[in-house]
Amino acid sequence: MADQVKLHGNWLSPFSSRVIWALKLKGIPYEYVEENVADKSALLLHYNPVYKKIPVLVHGGKPICESMIILDYIDETWPENPLLPSDPFKRATARFWIKFIEDKSPVLWGVFLADGKDDREKARKVTLEVLQTLEERAFGDEKFFGGDEINMVDLAYGVLVRWMPVIEEVVGVKLLDPDMFPRLHAWAENFRQAAVIRDNLPDHDQMVPLFKIRREQLLQIARK
């Protein structure tokens, strides 16, 4: 079918969740294909031969790769319930903060990959600096970034609402402290409780043991 939509993703991936949330917000029917990132399917490698990664959105047989590019595609292809503001300045501001979290993603995962107490504390401090910037500059007193409705910036920052708490538990650090970051914490709670997000979040308790295993695997590789 010309309009058939498929999403190749993985349930543990925040990048896959971004796309799921966007499709749900738009009311777009789609078929979901769960991919094993350790044993990638021939179809995934066919659709994304460059990066060989999820997520991949396939629309009418044509693949679109990279989560934020997919979100742009979704918003342009299905303009109902827009994910970006129509005002040029607000739109540019939204894109700025999307670029910020894309650039800072390695920092946010730094604590997860830090080996040893000293490295963990250094990574924690760097992460807190990023969160402080968001607290002071990005998120105001509105419910979501764009006001009363979830938009593309909120989807980009969704990693903070489920994956960061999992990292906190696995590593044994506190990052998104409500006393230090009241605005950011309030936003995260609002986002987490929105029906579309709440009903499409991976389970925290199922994630923790898998993230513990993955962290140890990555640390063992880094130690060699």
The tens place of each residue's pLDDT in the chain, 224 residues long, gives 457 999 999 999 999 999 999 999 999 999 999 999 999 999 999 999 999 999 999 999 999 999 999 999 999 999 999 999 999 999 999 999 999 999 999 998 999 999 989 999 999 999 999 999 999 999 888 999 978 999 999 999 999 999 999 999 999 999 999 999 999 999 999 999 999 999 999 999 999 999 999 999 999 988 87
Residue 183 three-state SS: helix
Strands 31-34 and 62-65: unpaired
Query: Whole-angstrom Cα distance, residue 17 to residue 34?
Result: 12
Q: How far is residue 95 from each of residues 88, 129, 130, 151, measured CA to CA in Å?
A: 10, 21, 17, 11
Residue 159 CA to residue 7 CA, distance in Å, equals 19
Rounded to whole angstroms, the Cα distance separating 197 from 21 reads: 6
Rounded to whole angstroms, the Cα distance separating 38 from 54 reads 11
Strand residue runs (E) in the chain: 5-9, 31-34, 56-59, 62-65
Length of the chain measured in residues: 224
Residue type, 168: E
Q: How far is CA 37 from CA 28, 159, 210, in A?
A: 25, 19, 13
Q: Which residues pair with 9 in a beta bridge?
A: 34
